[in-house]
Amino acid sequence: MSDHTEQPATEPADAKAGHYGRRMLMLGAAAAGAGVAASVAGGGLAQAAPDSSSVQLGKANSASGTTSISASSGTGIEGRTKMHGQSGVSGFDDTTSASSPPSNGVYGRSGYGSGVLGISEHKNGVTGMASTGGFSGVAGIDVAADNQGHGVYGQSNLGHGVFGYSYKGSGVVGQSNVAGQSGLAGYDASKDGGNGVYGHSTKGVGVWAQNDEGVALHVAGKAVFKNSGLAHVLAGTKTVTVKQPGVTSSSLVLATIQRPQGTVSIAAAQAGSGKFTITLTGRATSKLPIAWFVIG
């Protein structure tokens, strides 16, 4: 904690660009599913309905309507490629302007499984890229009727469940518009105890708490500070010097006697480079414990 005025860059309060309403999502799902028109049965040729020509392998095919393949067992469509930089299956949305509901390059839907499942042995299972401000490379939207779902869920066996990295902005940003809820929440459920939220900075501030009108930091439970401890003034002396890395001459040192000893009290707590000295108003008659706390 310190009394400096430098503040971190804040995220815009109206950072809501790229959000999708529930109605728009449902319309998009209906539009994508409404194109089912034809099917292949018994190993027959797929037809580009309503055109009469057959789908030609290794060539570009075009149709004025939707081509659909339905399989009673197995996978409806499977695509593979051995060419670097190519895709086993790819989809393109060639619309030239935004629409409502929005169009999709690839659409996946499932009743009880995953709408889209991506698996990679050496790279990312799913990668998303966006080039328009206010939108996301990957967006997850939960439209469940209760509060048990997740817009985005990340899980890892040994690494990070969710990892965010940014070259010029914030790695991870959370926002909430509901009273009593959190823009960003962390929970530790380990048996031996871990960290609900952990912040680390090499040269800046590990965790910055700011509130314009309310409480910036609320701690419910014990609080532990590395720049605090207990020192002892030996009997017959009136000073004790404590070495503490990071302390400077501008640091604030708070000190209190933990066991009353007559009229002896704290005269001064003077900070220096990597240390501070606590001075009493008189000599201690016995070993005297002094609690200290350094700010800045």
pLDDT per position as a tens digit, 18-43: 555 555 544 454 444 444 333 333 34
Q: How far apart are CA 195 and CA 214, in angstroms?
A: 25
- Average pLDDT rounded to a whole number, residues 112-118: 89
- Average pLDDT rounded to a whole number, residues 76-103: 87
Q: Which residue do the tokens 């695509």 mark? A: 79
Q: How far apart are CA 139 and CA 152, in angstroms?
A: 8
Q: Which residue do the tokens 């469509």 mark? A: 77
Predicted confidence (pLDDT) at residue 14 exceeds the cutoff of 70: no
Predicted confidence (pLDDT) at residue 17 exceeds the cutoff of 50: no
Confidence of residue 52 (pLDDT cuts 50, 70, 90): low
pLDDT at residue 134 in the model: 84
Element (H, E) at 242: strand 239-243
Q: Whole-model pTM?
A: 0.59
Residues 6+ apart with CB under 8 A from 288: 232, 233, 235, 257, 258, 259, 261, 264, 280
